[in-house]
Amino acid sequence: MNTITKNIQELAVSLLRDKTVDIVIGFKSGTVPMSSVPFVAKTTEQARTFIWDTHCRLNLANYLTGRKEKIGIIAKGCDSRNIANHIIENKISREQLHIIGVPCSGMVDKVKIASEFTEEIIEYTEQPDSFVVKTASQTKTLLKKDYLRANCSTCMHPNPVIYDQLAADRVTEPLIENQFADVNRIEALSRDEKWQHFDDLLQDCIRCYACRNACPLCYCPTCFVDESDPQWVGKGTDTTDIRTFHFLRAYHCAGRCTDCGACVEACPMDINVRDFTRKLNKDVFDMYGWEAGLDIKNRPPLDTFNPDDPDEFIK
């Protein structure tokens, strides 16, 4: 058992034992290699099944919306930023939460790892900076830093921004020189190439809405794609409808997205949905110097009015 897992378990057990919280939300092991399962512990016994590894990719803030109890929650950097978002947007109150922060050294990209092998991965074991992958005919040790998820490799806020306790020492916050290199690459494409890029990107979308449902920002009681009166979007597989869904969802997340990557993690078709949200994150950063969820005082720029707004349209 790694130290963080041990610390998380101990902290969660004591929170439940002394009734500081009613439940603790964390991760437990999955049933297939390279997976984890969001899990709610109500008893100290259950809290002893919490784990922490580089597959805790989903964003647990997604499980907070509308809950009434006193909640303990395990939060890495991006989860904590989404918790901050939730607090700002009145989806949960700070007083309800006891945040066990986990300084994060990044999650690994299971698709990238799988693509290294022609056979299926049957076992995965983790070591501090590396991991061992087993298939039917080979065993390979790979370095974590080479297989970080794209969003983790450009993350500058790996430490939780709000927390009550930490389950590990803070990690050094890297300064990424060109953190929007991926967006710049797409921006530099010609009009036709861009069209091709996004066409290709969404080609496999099956409209399961896993991206939306894994996203802590997508808590609308009725999403615009599910409205029937008026019906904004067709429900079939028409490419216009599929694009409309992704574009509008991304815009709805502008200034709120923490680039946690839960959308990409959830997509069964491995679509890099972040190509949309990243562009808006860049724009919001360029225009307002804003990064979402860094504190619980400031509202995102697109839901505030400022007389000094650099844009003319609002005046």
Partner 1 sequence: MEIIKIKKSDWAGGIDKSRKTYHLFGPVKHKNHHIFRQLENNIYPDMEYMSSVLSPKSVLFPQSQKILVTSADASGKACHIFTPPEQDHTPRAVIGIRPCDAKAVQLVKLNFDTKEYQDPYWCSAFEATTFVGLAVNTPSVLDFSTSAGSGPFAQEGLDVLLVDCKDHYLAKILSQKGKEFLNTAGFNEKEDPKAADQVIQQMKISAEKAICSVIQTQHLKKKTVLELYEAPFWEDIAFSCISCGTCAYVCPTCWCFDIQDETQGKTAVRFRNWDTCMPALFTRHSSGHNPRGEKIQRVRQRFMHKLKYFDDKYDQGIMCIGCGRCVEKCPVNIDIRDICNLMNAYKPEKESDAGEIKGEIK
Partner 2 sequence: MKNPYTPYPVKIDEIDIATEDKSLKTFKFVFLNKADEDNFSYKAGQFAELSIPGVGEIPIGIASSPIEKGFVKFTVFKTGVVTSHLHKMKTGDVMGIRGPLGNGFPWDRLEGKNIVIIGGGFAFTTLRSSIVYMLDPANRNRFKNIDVVYGARSPGMLLYRDELFEWEKRDDIHMNITVDGTDDPDWKYNTGFVPAVVEAKIPEADADTFAIVCGPPIMIKFTQPALKSLGYQDSQIIMSLENRMKCGIGMCGRCNIGRELVCKDGPVFTLEELNLTPGEF
Size of the residue set binding partner 1 (CB under 8 A): 39
Among the listed residues 11, 314, 261, the one whose alpha carbon sits nearest the alpha carbon of residue 150: 261
* 210 sits near partner 1 (criterion: CB under 8 A): yes
Sites of contact with partner 2 (CB under 8 A)? 228-229, 231
CB of 204 to partner 1, least distance (A): 7
Q: Give me 28's structure tokens.
A: 């437990």
- 234 binding partner 1? (CB under 8 A): yes
User: In angstroms, what is the minimal distance from the CB of 41 to partner 1?
Assistant: 10
**Smaller CB separation from partner 2, 231 or 239:** 231
Compare residues 141 and 231 and give the one whose CB is closer to partner 2: 231
Q: Which is nearer to partner 1, 99 or 214 (CB)?
A: 214
Residue 39 interacts with partner 1 (CB under 8 A): yes or no: yes
37 binds, among partner 1, partner 2, none (CB under 5 to 8 A by kind): partner 1
Angle between helices 274-288 and 191-202 (to 10 degrees): 130
Closest CA to 305 of 294, 290, 315: 315
- Interaction partner, residue 182 (partner 1, partner 2, none; CB < 5-8 Å by kind): none
Number of neighbouring beta carbons within 10 Å of residue 1: 8
Distance between CA atoms of residues 201 and 276, nearest Å: 10
- Residue 204 contacts partner 1 per CB under 8 A: yes
Tell me which residue has tokens 């969001």. 38
Q: Which stretch binds partner 1 (CB under 8 A): 190-198, 229-237, 278-286, 296-304?
A: 229-237
**Nearest residue (CB) to partner 1, 38 versus 174:** 38
* Selected range binding partner 1 among 36-44, 89-97, 161-169, 177-185, rule: CB under 8 A: 36-44
Q: Which is nearer to partner 2, 178 or 228 (CB)?
A: 228
Binding range to partner 1, per CB under 8 A, among 38-46, 98-106, 251-259, 285-293? 38-46
Q: Which of 197, 207, 279, 282 binds partner 1 (CB under 8 A)?
A: 207
Q: Does 269 bind partner 1 (CB under 8 A)?
A: yes
Which lies closer to partner 1 via its Cβ, residue 59 or residue 105? 59
Among the listed residues 119, 136, 118, 133, the one whose alpha carbon sits nearest the alpha carbon of residue 55: 133
Q: Considering beta carbons, is residue 219 or 232 the nearer one to partner 2?
A: 232
Compare residues 235 and 299 and give the one whose CB is closer to partner 2. 235
For position 308 contacting partner 1 by CB under 8 A, the verdict is no
Among 209, 219, 285, 288, binds partner 1 (CB under 8 A): 209
Query: Where does this chain bind partner 1 (CB under 8 A)?
Result: 30-32, 35-40, 58, 62-63, 111, 114-115, 120, 122, 136, 204, 206-210, 212-214, 226, 234-238, 265-270
